[in-house]
Amino acid sequence: MILKPIEELERVLGRLPGFGRRSASRAALALVREPSRLLEPLKQALDNAAKEIVVCSRCGAFTVSNRNPCDTCTDPTRDGAVVCVVEEPADIVSIEASGAFKGRYHSLGGKLSPSRRQGPEKLRLDSLLERVKEEGFTEVLLALSTDMEGDATALYVREMLKDTGVKVTRLAFGLPADSGIAYSDPLTLRRAIQGRRDV
Ligand SMILES: [Zn+2]
């Protein structure tokens, strides 16, 4: 018989990416087997993350509550002329790892997707428009995925920014089709950033 608290633990762990039923069950049992080494520190780490991690009010990346706007937004050494638009905060981590971009970021929090009922109102588009007007960017670099939804989002953003006069560019191809930025390796990303083109 499986105990209810363990079952509950398995169920939640099973929602994490990379966890199947079996691995969720193994992880749950490992946690309860070693409370002081695993369960308690995990509980502490979860508490801290829940309390301290927030979304940057300016760019939408993850930051800690006492640094909002985040370090990337406030760093005076970064190039304030270019803003790189991504779908998710994880994409920012990947682009930073490529070392090829030194401007600002803006995470949309997703992409347009009729099938998942994700319309423009669900994305951080208004704040992008506002930032383009207020922060004086000269270029908006779209680092969106290369699937139909990414294309639709790119088109939408270009139309939205039309009257601002800002130059809109997009990553060069070379990124595997249908894959997100977060899964691209640093070298491929560097080439895609360097070879960006107008849209
Ligand atoms: Zn920020």
Q: Would you state the pLDDT for residue 178?
A: 58
- The answer on 164 and 68 residing in a single domain is yes
pLDDT-derived band of residue 177, with 50, 70 and 90 as boundaries? low
Which residues are near ligand 1, the ion (C-beta closer than 5 Å)? 56, 58-59, 69-70, 73
What is the 107 CA–ligand 1 centroid distance (Å)?
9
What is the 23 CA–ligand 1 centroid distance (Å)?
35
- The answer on 102 and 21 residing in a single domain is no
Torsion of CA 198, 195, 109, 177, to 10 degrees: 100
What is the 61 CA–ligand 1 centroid distance (Å)?
6
What is the 120 CA–ligand 1 centroid distance (Å)?
21
What CATH number did the domain enclosing 35 receive? 1.10.8.420
- The answer on 158 and 69 residing in a single domain is yes
- The answer on 78 and 32 residing in a single domain is no
Whether 163 has a pLDDT exceeding 80, the answer reads yes
Mean pLDDT for 166-172 is 93
Q: Would you state the pLDDT for residue 132?
A: 97
- The answer on 74 and 46 residing in a single domain is no
What is the 132 CA–ligand 1 centroid distance (Å)?
14
pLDDT tens-place string over residues 104-159: 999 999 999 988 888 999 999 999 999 999 999 999 999 998 889 999 999 999 99
What is the 65 CA–ligand 1 centroid distance (Å)?
12
- The answer on 121 and 31 residing in a single domain is no
What is the 93 CA–ligand 1 centroid distance (Å)?
12
- The answer on 95 and 32 residing in a single domain is no
What is the 89 CA–ligand 1 centroid distance (Å)?
10
What is the 3 CA–ligand 1 centroid distance (Å)?
43
Whether 188 has a pLDDT exceeding 90, the answer reads no
Residue span of the structural domain in which 30 resides: 4-53
Split into its structural domains, the chain has a count of 2
What CATH number did the domain enclosing 141 receive? 3.40.1360.10
Render the chain in DSSP notation, one character per residue: ---HHHHHHHHHHTTSTT--HHHHHHHHHHHHH-IIIIIHHHHHHHHHHHHHEEE-TTT--EEETTS-S-HHHH-TTSEEEEEEEESSHHHHHHHHHHT---EEEEE-SS--BTTTTB-GGGSS-HHHHHHHHHH--SEEEE---SSHHHHHHHHHHHHHHGGGT-EEEE--S-SPTT--GGGS-HHHHHHHHHT-EE-
- The answer on 123 and 72 residing in a single domain is yes
What is the 75 CA–ligand 1 centroid distance (Å)?
10
